[in-house]
């Protein structure tokens, strides 16, 4: 088996395997915050048109180039819940009625909020056409 890699290397389309060796599907999306190295989990496409399933990071075992191995069996993987898009967060501050220095500070905070509000910076969506392509690619292998 290849050398393990970081969760930051995971890309859509990587194969996902259960602990019993069965192929579960392909990575659809990676959920986490790469700015502080927090891996939340994976959205795994189990079929071309089905809703992706959510695999929490605690159930992800070894990660190697092109493959993610889970610590759960294929039977347990079938009972995983649907993946729900994580909400973004932002710090909301009250409007200030002060002088120019406060107004400039508010502008800077507003710009920072726009730049840092989407916490989920390591997301990779796989649209329907890419899912169909991955589905057929798996059939021909």
Examine residue 97 and state whether it is found in any structural domain, yes or no: no
More confident position, 81 or 9: 9
Residue 21, pLDDT > 70, answer yes
List, for residues 82-126, the tens digit of each pLDDT value: 777 655 555 555 555 555 445 555 565 565 555 555 444 444 455
Residue with tokens 């899912």: 131
Task: Report the domain count for the chain.
Answer: 1
Examine residue 96 and state whether it is found in any structural domain, yes or no: no
Examine residue 108 and state whether it is found in any structural domain, yes or no: no
Examine residue 110 and state whether it is found in any structural domain, yes or no: no
Examine residue 98 and state whether it is found in any structural domain, yes or no: no
Structure tokens at 70: 């889970």
Q: Categorise residue 3: left if φ over 0, alpha if ψ from -120 to 50, beta otherwise.
A: beta
List, for residues 53-69, the tens digit of each pLDDT value: 999 999 999 999 999 99
Q: Could you tell me the pLDDT band of residue 42, with boundaries at 50, 70 and 90?
A: very high
* Parent domain of 31: 7-90+120-140
Mean pLDDT, range 4-19, rounded to an integer = 94
Enumerate the H helices of the chain as residue ranges: 74-78, 100-116, 128-140
Examine residue 67 and state whether it is found in any structural domain, yes or no: yes
Examine residue 39 and state whether it is found in any structural domain, yes or no: yes
Nearest to 74 by CA among 12, 135, 27, 17: 17
The whole-number pLDDT of residue 74 equals 92
* Mean pLDDT for the chain overall: 77
Q: What is the CATH number of the domain that holds 23?
A: 2.30.30.240
Examine residue 42 and state whether it is found in any structural domain, yes or no: yes
């Amino acid at each position: 088996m290849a050398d393990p890699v970081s969760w930051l290397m995971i890309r859509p389309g990587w194969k996902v395997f259960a602990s019993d060796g069965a192929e579960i599907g392909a990575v659809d999306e990676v959920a986490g915050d790469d700015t502080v190295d927090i891996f939340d989990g994976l959205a795994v496409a189990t079929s071309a048109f089905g809703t992706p399933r959510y695999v929490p990071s605690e159930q992800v075992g070894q990660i190697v180039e092109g493959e993610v191995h889970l610590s759960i069996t294929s039977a347990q993987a079938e009972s995983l819940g649907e993946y729900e898009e994580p909400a973004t967060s932002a710090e909301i501050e009250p409007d200030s009625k002060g002088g120019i220095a406060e107004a400039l500070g508010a502008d800077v905070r507003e710009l920072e909020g726009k730049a840092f509000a989407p916490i989920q910076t390591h997301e990779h969506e796989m649209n329907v056409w890419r899912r169909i392509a991955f589905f057929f690619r798996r059939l021909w292998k």
